[in-house]
Each structure stands twice: as structure tokens, then as C-alpha cells.
Chain A
Amino acid sequence: MISRTLTILIFLTFAVFAQTETHRWGEKKADYKIPEVSERNYLIDDSSVMMSLVSGFQYAYYFLISDYDGDNCPFTPTCSNFFVQSVKRTNIFQGALMFADRFTRDLNFIERDKYPRSQDGRLIDLPQNYELKERGIVILPKHIDKEKK
């Protein structure tokens, strides 16, 4: 009786877990893209006192708001990263003004077609376009993903 049960069990195991031909030989879509590492680094930027403060604010924002809210910012770079990059590229006052403007634009859900889109569908909005340096403005083709089609 035991041996019969064992045989049936083994047979069933093979039947259920066996690799199917279709699975083995079926079409597979290869993705050679290097996965984007989006892990957050919570180290404080110690390049200057101001940057330490700014990165401190950023991590507090991650910890208290962003982590609970989820990955919902439609822009790339995200608003918090935009703020940090803006301060790095300019100074705390200009960076704060750039962030205030970006935050207001983030609330505009009516017209988002004016921004070019990245491969993952996010709206590309680079801080260098808002530094009040006309020569530094980067004009990207709109809808990179659509153009590829």
C-alpha cells in the first residue's frame, strides 16, 4: 500500500512539476537593458553645509512622505531629486525657487504633452532648463517612445 502510494506520488510530482515542451521551446523576449538601480542612498551629502542640509531634507521627505506615497511622481528627475540637483547646480535660493516652480507644474495635470517622454513614460524635465541660462537649455524631441515606432 505504501509503495503504491509512493509510486503514485512520484508519478504525480513528475506530472505536475515536469517542464513542458512549450515552456522550454516557446518564444522568449530577451531584454538586454541593464536594470536601473533605483535604490535610495541615505548617506548625507557632506560636500558643503548647505548640501548636508538639503540632502537631510530630502531623506526626511523620502522617509516621511515618498516611501508611503509610492513611486508616483510623473517627472524624471522626481521633484525631490530636482530640488537637490537644482541646489547643487545653482544655490539654495535659486534651487528653492526652481523647486517651487516645479512643484506648481507638477500639479498641472491638464497639459503634460509639452514635456518629452522618457522610455518608461515619465516626463523629462531637466533642472538645467530652469537656471536662467538660455544657452544651457536642452530641447529634446517630444515623445521619444512614439518616435521610435
Chain B
Amino acid sequence: MRFYRFFFLLLILAAVVRGQSKAVNPLFSVPNRVKFASHLYKTGDYIRAFDEYRALLTGTPDDTLRLAAGLALRNLGRFDEAEDYLQGLFFFSRLKDYAKTEFLKTEFIRGNYSGFVNLSGESFYSPDTFSVGIKRLKYFTYLILQETEITDSAEFVSGFAESQRRVISKFYSVKKRPERKDELLAAVLSAVIPGAGKIYTEDYSDGIVAFIFSGLFYGLAAHNFAVAKNAKGALFAGIGLFFHAGSVYGSATSAQIYNAQKRFEFESKLIEYAEKEKYFLPDTEKLFIK
């Protein structure tokens, strides 16, 4: 009897000691999941990285994970949700300065430039720690905003780091003296010679075609008038005039399209440079997603 009791206790002990525990599967431990989420983030799989961060946050509220989740969402273009995550860190968090800076950066990335400029002027959104970087990004945004008048070259460029000044100075020159074509001049040129305005706006082939097309009908009109076929002459003259008027109008629009294209290219270059310079702010991804 005693032997059986002893044997039974031994069995229970063995089961307790050697039994498989749910909690100690190391594969799903919090540090491992954080590492996995970081790996996903670094490889650009932001959807799954965000899923991991969100799952982790339900069990372990953590400011770094919240910040990372916000950044993953921003990379996915889900800006409103990203800003919600970042706003959750604005108070009582050791990362509040980073969160505010990333919030501002998100405004810039989503293209809300005037919103970014307004917010960056508020001391709440512009923590002292990163005020230099924020000021640089604000100045840089002036290059993108069309309506903004920017200060003189020396003052503007001096706000940036030594290594950035040469490029910023080039951008400044383009902003001050943009490569534009005058719409009125283009229209006047085409009014004088059909298609000349398009040649001025560098639409060479369209200019030549407009010249040939209008010229052909004017030529036919002249020929018919010369042989006293006035009705036919008037018809061809009317058609020629119609296409000539189209060429005058088209030259003005061509100048506008040229200007819009140049502005688009300039903005694309600015955004590319801002990305390269990490928006003049600390590289939060590198600091917190390891």
C-alpha cells in the first residue's frame, strides 16, 4: 500500500516537473516576437510587421512598440492611423519628443506641407531636442510651397548643415528663378507664325505640324482667291483660321504644361532629397527598430 502511494506521488511529481509548459515556448517569447517584427519591418514587410506590433501591444503595452507600429503604418501610407498611434505617445511617455517629431514628419510625408509648417511653429510639436532639424525641414518646405516668399539666400542656406548647403543653395536658386515659359508670349508668337509658340515651349514637332497644317489651308485659300474661287477660298481660309486659333490657344496651354512639368520635377527632386537626408531629423527607425 505504501509502495503504491509512493509510486503514485512519483508519477505526479514527474508529470509536474517534466510536463510541457505552455508558457515557456521560447519561439513566441516577447523578445523573439519583437525581433521578428523588426526583421519584417527592415525587409519592408510593413503589413506583417504592424500585425506583430499590434499583437504585442495587446499583451505588453510598450512605447517603443507603439512608435514602431506608427512608423509601419506610415510606411504603408495609412497616415491617419499612424498619427493616432503617435499621438498616443504625446503625454507621459519617455518617447514623446520622438513621437511629436515623427508626427510632424508624417504631415510632411503625406504632402500636407502647410499643415506641417503651421504645426512646426507651435512649441508643443517642436521639442527643444529636435528644434534644429524641425527648423531645417520647415525651411525646406518653403521650397515646395508655391506661395511662400523665402528669405534671402545667405540666411536661408545658413540654417542647414555644412554638407547640405551646396545642394540647398541650388534648390534655392531654382525656387527663386524657376524655369518658366511665358504663356502670353507663346500665344503671341503663334498668332504671328502658327506653331511658333509651341517651338518656344519646346514642343517642336507639334509646332511644325501646326505650321504645316494652318499653312496648307491658308495656301489653298490664297490659291482659290487668286483664281477667283472666292467661296472655296473663304472655306479654306476659315478652316485655316480655326486651326491657327487652336495653335494660339494650344501654345498658351503648352507653356502652362511646360511650367507644371518643371514644377513637378522640382518637387520630386526636393522630396527625393528630403528622403535621402532623413528629413533632417534623427533616424528614429534606426534608433528604435533593431
The finding on whether chains A and B are genuine partners in a shared complex, rather than unrelated, reads yes
Q: Report A-chain residues with C-beta under 8 Å of the C-beta of B209.
A: 104-105, 107-108, 110
Q: Which of A99, A108, A137 is in CB contact (< 8 Å) with B256?
A: A137
Binds A, one of B16-24, B83-91, B257-265: B257-265
A107–B214 Cα gap in the complex (Å)? Answer: 12
B246 lies within 8 A of A108 (CB) = no
- Is the CB–CB distance between A134 and B260 below 8 Å? yes
Which chain B positions have C-beta within 8 A of A101?
246-247, 249-250, 253
What is the size category of the interface that chain B forms with chain A? 20 to 34
Cross-chain contact of A97 among B210, B249, B261 (Cβ < 8 A) = B249
Count class of interface residues, chain A? 20 to 34
A108 to B261, CA, bound (A): 21
Which of B183, B250, B257 is the most central at the interface, judged by chain A CB atoms within 10 Å of its CB?
Answer: B250
Q: Give the CA-CA distance A110 to B210 in the complex, in Å.
A: 13
A interface: dominant SS = helix
Contact at A134–B259, with CB atoms within 8 Å? Answer: yes
Contact A98 B247 (CB under 8 A): no
A129 on the interface (CB 8 Å rule)? yes
- Residues 240 to 286 of chain B near chain A (Cβ within 8 Å): 242-243, 245-247, 249-250, 252-253, 256-257, 259-261, 264
How far apart sit A107 and B183, CA to CA, in the bound complex (Å)?
23
A101 vs B195: C-alpha distance when bound (angstroms): 10
Closest to A135 in B: B260
Complex contact B256–A98 (CB within 8 A) = no
Interface string of B183-208 (1 = CB under 8 A from A): 10000000000000000000111100
- Taking a contact as CB atoms closer than 8 A, the residue among A99, A114, A130 that contacts B253 in the complex is A130
Complex partner residue of A132 from B210, B256, B264, CB under 8 angstroms: B256
Q: Is the pair A105, B253 in contact by a Cβ cutoff of 8 Å?
A: no
A139 CB–B CB distance under 8 Å: yes
B117-152: which residues lie under 8 A (CB-CB) from chain A? none
- Answer whether residue A71 sits at the interface, using C-beta atoms and an 8 A cutoff: no
Taken together as a complex, chains A and B put the C-alpha atoms of A134 and B256 apart, in Å, by 6
Whether A104 contacts B247 by the Cβ 8 Å rule is: yes
B261 touches A107 (CB 8 A): no
Determine whether the beta carbon of A111 is less than 8 Å from that of B243. Answer: no
Chain B residues whose CB sits within 8 angstroms of the CB of A99 once the complex forms = 246
A102 to B246, CA, bound (A): 8
CB of B206 to closest CB in A, whole Å: 5
Residues of B within 8 A of A61 (CB): none
Docked-complex contact B206 and A97, CB < 8 angstroms: no
Contacts of B252 in A (CB 8 A): 132
Judged by a CB distance under 8 angstroms, whether B36 is at the interface is no
Q: Does any Cβ of B come within 8 Å of A63's Cβ? A: no
Chain A 86-99 per-residue mask, 1 if CB under 8 angstroms from chain B, else 0:
00000000101111
Contact between chains at A100 and B246 (CB < 8 Å): yes
B256:A104 contact, CB within 8 angstroms: no
Do residues B257 and A104 form an inter-chain contact, with CB atoms below 8 A? no
* Interface membership of A57, Cβ < 8 A: no
Q: B185 CB to closest chain A CB, in angstroms?
A: 15
* 0/1 interface trace, chain A 108-147, chain B, CB 8 Å (1 if under): 1011001000000000000001111010010100000000
- A96→B250 CA distance, assembly (Å): 11
Within the complex, the shortest CB–CB distance from B6 to chain A, in Å, comes to: 67
Q: Does B213 contact A (CB under 8 A)?
A: yes
Q: Does A42 contact B (CB under 8 A)?
A: no
Set of chain B residues within 8 Å of A103, measured between Cβ atoms: 243, 246
CB distance from A133 to the nearest CB of B (A): 8
Closest to A134 in B: B256
Q: A132-B253, A139-B264 are in contact. Are A104 and B205 (CB under 8 A)?
A: no
9 A-B residue pairs with CB within 8 Å: A94-B249, A100-B247, A102-B246, A104-B206, A104-B247, A108-B209, A132-B256, A134-B256, A139-B264
A-side residues, CB < 8 A to B, are: 94, 96-105, 107-108, 110-111, 114, 129-132, 134, 137, 139
